[in-house]
């Protein structure tokens, strides 16, 4: 099942939240900064042991002070016009994060709109990739609930329109 939510991903009591991290996994701005602030300093200490992460891949840590049990760190592509593998890499973020959640016995996972902030991926195509990839992944994970978290009302409306048209 796919649900939409308008709000702050750091507040969600789900099994796993996805962090739109950078490849160092050592923290950044946007949702990454918010997750590190809310999870506390033990999250950075855990991330330091992971040795970074490739674009499109995902790694897991505990959620520490978050209500979520796990944080799945994935690195979205930087938008460079769309002809540099961005769609495949973005799909890979959604797919690998979902897979990692399933491997860790999660039944609920929440995603921010990966790559659509500082990394500049246009929101509508990014949203379509998120929905298509997650729908496909959920076919083999019938017990999993996915929440797509929008951080502002305009993003929420866009997600709503995309979900209805799909
Ligand atoms: P990226 O570097 O992958 O583009 P950003 O963190 O800059 O990552 O932005 C990704 C998306 O996360 C943006 O749509 C932004 O509005 C959203 N976002 C930022 N903070 C939060 C938060 N606390 N909860 C949910 N979404 C957030």
Residue 49 backbone dihedrals phi, psi, to 5 degrees = -85, -10
Q: Tell me the C-alpha distance between 79 and 115, whole Å.
A: 8
Instruction: Quick: pLDDT tens for 121-145.
Output: 999 999 999 999 999 999 999 999 9
| Protein residue closest via CA to atom 3 of ligand 1 | 115
Ligand 1 mean position, distance from CA 12 (Å): 15
Query: Distance (Å, rounded) from C-alpha 67 to C-alpha 50?
Result: 22
Spatial separation of the C-alpha atoms in residues 51 and 37, rounded to whole Å: 21
Helix, strand or coil, per DSSP, at residue 13: coil
Residue 128 structure tokens: 């379509």
Distance 106 CA to ligand 1 centre (A): 22
DSSP state of 139: T
Average pLDDT, consecutive stretches of 10 residues, N- to C-terminus, the chain (166 residues):
98 98 95 98 98 98 98 98 98 98 98 98 98 98 97 98 92
Residue 27, phi-psi category: left (phi > 0), alpha (psi -120 to 50), beta (remainder): left
User: 79 is written with which tokens?
Assistant: 């938008």
Q: Give the number of the atom of ligand 1 that is nearest the alpha carbon of residue 152.
A: 16
Measuring from atom 19 of ligand 1, which residue has the nearest CA? 31
Measured in angstroms, how far is the CA atom of residue 6 from the centroid of ligand 1? Answer: 12
The closest residue, in CA terms, to atom 16 on ligand 1 is 151
Q: Which of 8, 15, 32, 65 is catalytic?
A: 32
Three-state SS for 64-116 is CCCCCCEEEEEECCCCCCCCCCHHHHHHHHHHHHHHHHHHCCCCEEEECCCCC
Question: Is there a contact between 133 and 94 (Cβ–Cβ < 8 Å)?
Answer: yes
Q: Give the per-residue pLDDT at 98.
A: 98
Count of other CB atoms within 10 angstroms of residue 80? 12
pLDDT for position 166: 76
Q: Which two tokens stand for residue 56?
A: 């499109």
pLDDT value, residue 4 = 98
**Nearest residue by C-alpha to atom 6 in ligand 1:** 30
């Amino acid at each position: 099942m796919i649900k939409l939510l308008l709000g702050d991903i750091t507040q969600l009591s789900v099994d796993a939240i996805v962090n739109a991290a950078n490849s160092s996994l050592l923290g950044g701005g946007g949702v990454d900064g918010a997750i590190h602030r809310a999870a506390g300093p033990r999250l950075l200490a855990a991330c330091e042991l992971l040795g970074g992460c490739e674009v499109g891949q995902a790694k897991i840590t505990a959620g520490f002070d978050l209500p979520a049990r796990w944080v799945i760190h994935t690195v979205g592509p930087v938008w460079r016009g769309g002809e540099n593998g961005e769609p495949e890499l973005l799909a890979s973020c959604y797919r690998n994060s979902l897979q990692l959640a399933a491997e860790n016995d999660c039944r609920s996972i929440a995603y921010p709109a990966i790559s659509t902030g500082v990394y500049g991926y246009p929101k509508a195509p990014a949203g379509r990739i998120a929905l298509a990839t997650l729908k496909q992944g959920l076919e083999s994970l019938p017990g999993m609930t996915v929440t797509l978290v929008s951080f502002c009302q305009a993003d929420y409306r866009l997600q709503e329109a995309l979900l209805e048209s799909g």
